[in-house]
Amino acid sequence: MLVAGATGYVGGRLLEALERSGHSIRCIARRPEFLSGRVLPSTEVVRADCLDEQSLRPALEGVDTAYYLVHSMGSGADFEDEEQRAARGFARAARLARVRRIIFLGGLGGATKELSAHLRSRQQTGILLRESGATVIEFRASIILGSGSLSFELIRALVERLPVMVCPRWVRTRAQPIAIEDVVEYLIAALHSGRSESTIFEIGGSDRVSYADIMREYARQRGLKRSFVFVPFLTPRLSSLWLGLTTPVYARIGRKLIESIKNETVVRDDTALREFPIAPMGLRRAIERAIANEDREFATTRWSTALSASGVPAAWGGVRMGSRLIDSRSTRVNASAEKAFAPIRRIGGVTGWYYADVLWRLRGFLDLLLGGVGLRRGRRDPESLWIGDTVDFWRVEAYEPNRRLRLHAEMKIPGRAWLEFETEPVVGGGTTIRQTAIFDAHGLLGLCYWYAIYPLHARVFKGMLDGIAKAAVSPCATQRP
């Protein structure tokens, strides 16, 4: 089978589930390197672009079932045209390759002229895919809730940051949110559907609620007291500007999202419930799952993909992903992965932090004054690390020898923080060392903290990476006691 859109949120979750089930999978991606290290060796990754029909034809050769999970919501004003060109090209390539079945995830919404451009484009995509002659199983979903999903991150950012929310009318629109786990289960169940004709299935969770209800439930589970003030005069355009101010990562697609939210998205045809042995969870359980999985999904994300092609962090304070702030930088050293990783596994304790150790000690002292652990814990061993080890005021959360180390902060800060190091061999020789600092701000205090000390942090982060690179090429880089 083939998965188009595996680098996206739903596609990535589906790919992981298909791999666990032992399916033979081929993925297409405009930039296959984005899937490097994220797929099993048995999964084939092919370079292809849905806007380039010629590239699709060899990619679809021999494929029986194809998942189409591609959208252009993040594109410019002509995203509808782009989505239609992609779907039309995919359909033609699928017809030539004699693909038997296409499984597509679209959006709920009545077939009316009042649909938003985004929902209208989703429905048009399904129509174009059916021109392939294949049996198209189209699922139409409302809000998808899961750690890392656009809707969940939007809700999370708003509720975490704003004690009082001025709410436009759209937050009262009814929806039927569905957990990402249930979406993936439906997508996989479609593989075993006996239908030979194209069918549209409407899917949703067990609760019909508004965006305000979702925000209230998130606040309740997080133990946050939040007030809502409803106003009638915020248009979709004004709402999108407000959304951009409070959640900047969504500025480009804010208006498209708001225009979609104003449409009621509830299930009116329960055929999916009768056809598939799936009992979708309700709102409370979906949010519980999203919060519980948040750290795991966040930690396994490669934040380097949030950077520009130059790989240089933005000068204003790092890259923003949802409510998280990231400083990610890399350097290349003329050393093997083992030598490049050697100073990383020795970091902290008696070895220090490779730059401005006096500032690290000062930060540890301040942490002690605030009731934290400071630097007094040191390390269990100066050379080896285990998951769960303490490294000064950090704790080892993930460790893969000669490849990856992720530390979780246990100092007193208004939020949560991680420091991650990765090494990756470079074709032709040498190794890339990537260092990523991640801060999950708690409220306005957390944001003020990050921006107030970012100029100092940026200097320390750069100096630390330079120090690690210098140590990696020193003669004693892999020496053990």
Structural Rg of the chain based on CA atoms: 24
Which residue would you say has higher pLDDT here, 224 or 247? 224
pTM of the model: 0.69
> Which of 284-298, 336-350, 352-366 shows the lowest per-residue confidence on average (mean pLDDT)?
284-298
Q: What is the pLDDT of residue 150?
A: 77
Q: What is the pLDDT of residue 248?
A: 45
Q: What is the pLDDT of residue 369?
A: 87
DSSP 475: T
Residues 126/189, Cβ–Cβ less than 8 Å: no
Question: What's the rounded mean pLDDT across residues 64-68?
Answer: 95
Rounding to the nearest 10 degrees, give the CA dihedral for residues 186, 191, 192, 193: 70
Distance of alpha carbon 445 from the chain centroid: 24
> Which of 56-65, 120-129, 298-307 shows the lowest per-residue confidence on average (mean pLDDT)?
298-307
- In this structure, the number of other CB atoms found within 10 A of the CB of residue 237 comes to 12
Q: What is the pLDDT of residue 112?
A: 57
Residues 176/208, Cβ–Cβ less than 8 Å: yes
The structural architecture, per CATH, of the domain 2-300 is 3-Layer(aba) Sandwich (3.40)
In angstroms, the CA 407 to CA 419 distance is: 5
Q: What is the pLDDT of residue 280?
A: 96
Q: Where are the beta strands (DSSP E) in 134-222?
A: 135-141, 144-145, 164-167, 174-175, 178-179, 199-203, 209-210
Question: What's the rounded mean pLDDT across residues 291-318?
Answer: 49
In angstroms, the CA 261 to CA 168 distance is: 11
Residues 104/126, Cβ–Cβ less than 8 Å: yes
Q: Please report where in the chains the tokens 């950012």 appear, as a residue.
A: 157
> Which of 60-64, 191-195, 280-284, 403-407 shows the lowest per-residue confidence on average (mean pLDDT)?
191-195
Domain 303-472 class, CATH top level: alpha beta
Dump pLDDT digits (tens) for 418-458. Answer: 999 999 999 889 999 999 999 988 777 888 888 898 889 89
Domain ranges of the chain: 2-300, 303-472
Average pLDDT across the chain, whole number: 84
Q: What is the pLDDT of residue 254?
A: 52
Residues 34/305, Cβ–Cβ less than 8 Å: yes
pLDDT bucket at 72, cuts 50 / 70 / 90: low
Which residue would you say has higher pLDDT here, 291 or 158? 291
- How far is CA 322 from each of CA 123, 246, 309, 425, rounded to the nearest angstrom? 28, 10, 20, 30
Question: What's the rounded mean pLDDT across residues 342-367?
Answer: 94
Q: Shortest CA distance to 36 belongs to which of 47, 20, 52?
A: 47
pLDDT bucket at 158, cuts 50 / 70 / 90: confident
Q: What is the pLDDT of residue 214?
A: 93
**pLDDT of 315 above 60:** no
Question: What's the rounded mean pLDDT across residues 104-131?
Answer: 82
Dump pLDDT digits (tens) for 245-264. Answer: 555 444 445 555 666 666 78
Half-sphere exposure of 298 (CA within 13 A, CB side): 28
